[in-house]
Amino acid sequence: AQTVTQSQPEMSVQEAETVTLSCTYDTSESDYYLFWYKQPPSRQMILVIRQEAYKQQNATENRFSVNFQKAAKSFSLKISDSQLGDAAMYFCAYRSGGTASKLTFGTGTRLQVTL
């Protein structure tokens, strides 16, 4: 079974600074996808960024980028120019290749953004 580990229960960053959230995963599969989801107090899970395992290039979405180290099974999220609206719970998630596979989530990292 696949597992996802987020070892940072809480992180804090000053507005406009950069922060990196860590995630490691365990799998024996070669075809999979990795995600970072944001969950604000509104409770809805919002997709931040997605990485296909077969792609060597790290995914980037505006201020959000990942460092995908396949051999080390590491998938960290970097948030640049942090904004107050970035404050939320962030979950790393794994999904196997194939049709409509389930998501396996980590335990989350609570990000605080301070002035």
Partner 1 sequence: DAGVTQSPTHLIKTRGQQVTLRCSPKSGHDTVSWYQQALGQGPQFIFQYYEEEERQRGNFPDRFSGHQFPNYSSELNVNALLLGDSALYLCASSLFNNMGGYTFGSGTRLTVV
Q: Which residue has the tokens 């990196």?
A: 20
Min separation Cβ 89 and partner 1, Å:
9
Q: Restricting to residues 72-91, which ones interact with partner 1 according to CB under 8 A?
A: 91
Identified binder of partner 1 from the candidate list 3, 16, 29, 97, rule CB under 8 A: 97
Tell whether residue 33 is a contact of partner 1 (CB under 8 A): yes
- Does 42 engage in binding with partner 1 (CB under 8 A)? yes
Tell the smallest beta-carbon distance from residue 82 to partner 1 (Å): 22
